[in-house]
Amino acid sequence: MQPTEGPITLEELALAARNKGIPLEALRYDTTPTGMHYLLVHFDIPAIDVASFRLRVGGNVGRELVLGLEEIRARPSVTMPVTLECAGNGRAKLVPRPISQPWLDEAVGTAEWTGTSLASLLADAGVRPDTVEILFTGADHGIEKGYEHDYARSLALADATRPEVLLAYEMNGRPLEPQHGFPLRLLVPGWYGMTHVKWLTRIDAITEPFTGYQQRIAYWYRQAADEQGDPVTRIRPRALMVPPGFPDFLTRRRTVDRGRVELAGRAWSGVAPIVRVEVSVDGAWSDATLEPPLGEFAWGRWSFAWDASMGDHVLACRATDAAGNRQPTDSPWNVQGMGNNSVHSVAVHVR
């Protein structure tokens, strides 16, 4: 289907009913409660019996490994906060709008993830020197744009063996819930969500770049459908705001009492640390106060004291990272609706 300027379709609504965004007021929590973490599932959540579950590590390795969950849990573990965001966040704000999961601003969350080092496991398997990529295959199966496949993505060997890359089996101190990849998922801190293959069943060292659907067709920045473009990789900088005041049920329009209001939210980037968050009141930008991030790969809190005067106002926030990337005012358009990190704005009525 082509991008459209038309209204939301029933297929988009059905996707929105299945997939889950964070309610923006939940940006108040350092760590997102599991049930409010964003979730995008391409096919169905598979039913996996943990007793018979095995992770197979093979391909271009010296020694194939077949591991049960308890063997993976017995390896040295790491726990760290990681911010995950869907590459399609902001898609429904594009004009024309690519037809897929119609995210507005809410496809993000930060959890405490626990897992074991992928690099260490690959070392045990003895990845051979002519390996170019590591391929990750999940148990989820379906059809996308005519291609029937198990969900699979690859990483260049150098990206896969970075020390922060984990095979994760706990989220927020508990075994993964089924929808987050139980019993085991990949975690690649700093990268958009499609990278973190859920329901992981196979890891293969490969000697040619992977050309499967989710790697070669989906998840590219393309200005036209017939160009290859650039691959979607790390998370672009973004700041979001806890909407102040209280909402109208249907319109979500905010009402705020006049006087001093603390605006606050979160900012993150998978490219480089966030160095600046700015807040705009009716178009005039000022620096917000930025707290240290929760971790190297997790969001940080920002806040801004606003003296709210009666009337209608538009508030906005934007982040800049240490690599000099600042969020754009206008949405960066591409065919698949990827990486739209344009500024978040909130209309409020002050009384």
Least separation in angstroms between CB 19 and a second copy: 9
Residue 158 interacting with a second copy (CB under 8 A): no
What's the token pair of residue 348?
């409020």
Least separation in angstroms between CB 306 and a second copy: 18
Least separation in angstroms between CB 99 and a second copy: 7
Residue 252 interacting with a second copy (CB under 8 A): yes
Measured CA to CA, the distance from residue 175 to residue 113 in angstroms comes to: 10
Helix (H) or strand (E) holding 122: helix 118-125
C-alpha dist (Å) from residue 256 to 244, 279, 280, 310 = 7, 17, 16, 9
Residue closer to a second copy (CB basis): 15 or 206 = 15
**Amino acid symbol at 132:** V
Measured CA to CA, the distance from residue 123 to residue 137 in angstroms comes to: 19
What's the token pair of residue 13?
């609504």
Spell out, one character per residue from 25 to 54, where the chain touches a second copy: x when CB under 8 A holds, - when not.
xx-xx---xxxxx-x-xxxxx-x-------
Which among 112, 91, 93 has a CA at the least distance from the CA of 32?
A: 112
CB proximity list for 160: less than 8 A, separation 6 or greater:
118, 119, 122, 133, 134
Residue closer to a second copy (CB basis): 247 or 324 = 247
Q: Which of residues 288-317 bind a second copy (CB under 8 A)?
A: none
Q: If DSSP codes are grouped into helix, strand and coil, which group holds residue 73?
A: helix
Kindly tell me which residue out of 2, 5, 17, 307 binds a second copy, with binding defined by CB under 8 A: 17
Q: Which of residues 166-205 bind a second copy (CB under 8 A)?
A: 177-180
Strands of 274-281's sheet in order across:
254-256, 344-350, 311-321, 274-281, 284-287
Q: If DSSP codes are grouped into helix, strand and coil, which group holds residue 287?
A: strand
Total chain residues near a second copy (CB under 8 A): 59
Residue closer to a second copy (CB basis): 38 or 59 = 38
Residue 255 interacting with a second copy (CB under 8 A): yes
Residue closer to a second copy (CB basis): 71 or 248 = 248
Q: Which stretch binds a second copy (CB under 8 A): 74-82, 153-161, 221-229, 251-259?
A: 251-259
Which among 264, 297, 281, 291 has a CA at the least distance from the CA of 24?
A: 264
Q: Which of residues 53-112 bind a second copy (CB under 8 A)?
A: 92, 99-100, 102-104, 106
Q: Which residues bind a second copy (CB under 8 A)?
A: 1, 6-18, 20-21, 23, 25-26, 28-29, 33-37, 39, 41-45, 47, 92, 99-100, 102-104, 106, 141-145, 148, 177-180, 243, 246-252, 255
